[in-house]
Every structure is written in C-alpha cells, then in structure tokens.
Amino acid sequence: MSSKKERDIEKNYPLPDFIAKLRRLADSLENGEQFEIQIAGERIYVPVRAKYSIEHEREGDEEEIEFQIKWSVSK
C-alpha cells in the first residue's frame, strides 16, 4: 500500500510549456525510458510499464480530450 496522499489536480500550462511536456513524453516513450514530470510541486515518475489511452468526452456545448497514463504502484 502506498503512503502517498490521494490527490486529483488539473494544472493548466501555457501552450509552449504543454508542447515541451508532450515532446519530452514522446521522447521517453520512443527511447523506452521512464518519464518524469513535476505537477503542482510533486515529482511524478511514470514507469515504462504504464498504459496509455485517449479519452473523448462531450457534454452540452463542451468537448474534452484527455491523454491518460495509468500504472499501478504495486509490482
């Protein structure tokens, strides 16, 4: 069991920063390497074994696309 507190954060980034993060993610994936990112002051380490998905939501006059990365902390 993880000792980390639960959290649900959405962080907005200026377009150039968002592009840079996506580019670093793509480079990590292509090289088969762990991806590291800091979000709202916490450093996150995404393991190579993570699963990737894209989600599309539509509600009323709003649409949303989420690029999701999921993994279990247990081995």
Q: pTM score, two decimals?
A: 0.81
> Is 23 a domain residue?
yes
Tens digits of residue pLDDT in 58-72: 999 999 999 999 999
Tens digits of residue pLDDT in 4-56: 789 999 989 999 999 999 999 999 999 999 999 999 899 999 999 999 999 99
> Is 7 a domain residue?
no
> Is 75 a domain residue?
no
Tell whether the model's pLDDT for residue 1 goes beyond 60.
Answer: no
| Locus of tokens 């939501």 | 57
Domain that holds residue 28: 15-70
CA–CA dist 67, 52 (Å, integer): 7
8 Å CB contact between 35 and 46: yes
8 Å CB contact between 32 and 9: no
At residue 43, the pLDDT reads 95
CA–CA dist 35, 50 (Å, integer): 10
> Is 3 a domain residue?
no
Domain tally, the chain: 1
> Is 55 a domain residue?
yes
Q: Per 3-state DSSP, what percentage of the chain is helix, strand, and coil (rounded to 5)?
A: 20, 35, 40
- Residue type (1 letter), 16: P
> Is 2 a domain residue?
no
> Is 22 a domain residue?
yes
